[in-house]
Amino acid sequence: MPPEPTPRTAVRRLPEKQVDDLATLHAILDEALHASVGIEVDGQPYVLPMACARDGDHLLLHGSTGSRLMRALAGGAAVCVSVTHLDGLVYARSAFESSMQYRSATVLGVATQVPPADKVRALEVLTEHLLPGRWAELRAPLAKEVAATMVLRVPLAEWSVKVSDGFSEDPPADLEQPVWAGVVPLRLVAGTPVDAPDLGPDRPVPAHVRDRDRDR
């Protein structure tokens, strides 16, 4: 159920690009390996890249319990989590109309710590999102590892999504310009896996790594 835009999430610029269905929000978050997390400390905004994963109607973030910004987030600071996928470069007939294709999601709110009883499951969600298929073949987390990790969740309650997926909308007079116009698609792709230098014998690349993102 998409929320009504609040004064803080209503898109003012290019409102025709605002999308309000939850499926699109989820798709954008589910494709993201990292988010840009905004927080204000002493009058200065900070933006940090952090790994992320959606867990139902929350977004999970994690970091060290020693991190100053993780502690500020856990302490109830207002947060903005932003995810952007660049999908293409839009070549218009003028610099002014040139733009990019993108899908972006913004979530506002307050993060809370995932309670201890749910932390290992949340770490599994994060790991499986970032490294699908990996969790089952790894040893269980050690108690000290879990204790050293803070896992936060931000409710997907106040959010906005913008999608720009078309070509340029040049004014009629510009269509005569003697230039090509179109889109150059952009895509984040996974390359060939590289063995760790200290990899022991008989440790083949697993199928879930070898075939990663092949279908994107």
Between residue 16 and residue 35, which ones bind a second copy under the rule CB under 8 A? 33-34
Say which residue the tokens 């139902």 belong to: 56
Residues within window 84-113 making contact with a second copy, judged by CB under 8 A? 84, 86, 89, 91, 93-96, 98, 100, 102, 104, 106, 108
Closest separation in Å from C-beta 150 to a second copy: 12
Q: How far apart are CA 1 and CA 20, in angstroms?
A: 9
Stretch that binds a second copy, among 18-26, 39-47, 52-60, 111-119 (CB under 8 A): 39-47
Find the radius of gyration of the CA atoms of the chain.
21
At 65 the three-state DSSP class reads coil
Residues within window 120-149 making contact with a second copy, judged by CB under 8 A? 123-124, 127, 130-131, 134-135, 137-139, 141-142, 145, 148-149
Instruction: Please give the single-letter amino acid code of residue 160.
Output: S
Closest separation in Å from C-beta 23 to a second copy: 21
At 31 the three-state DSSP class reads helix
At 101 the three-state DSSP class reads strand
Q: Does 163 bind a second copy (CB under 8 A)?
A: no
Stretch that binds a second copy, among 16-24, 44-52, 53-61, 111-119 (CB under 8 A): 44-52
Judge whether 108 and 155 are in contact, CB under 8 Å: no
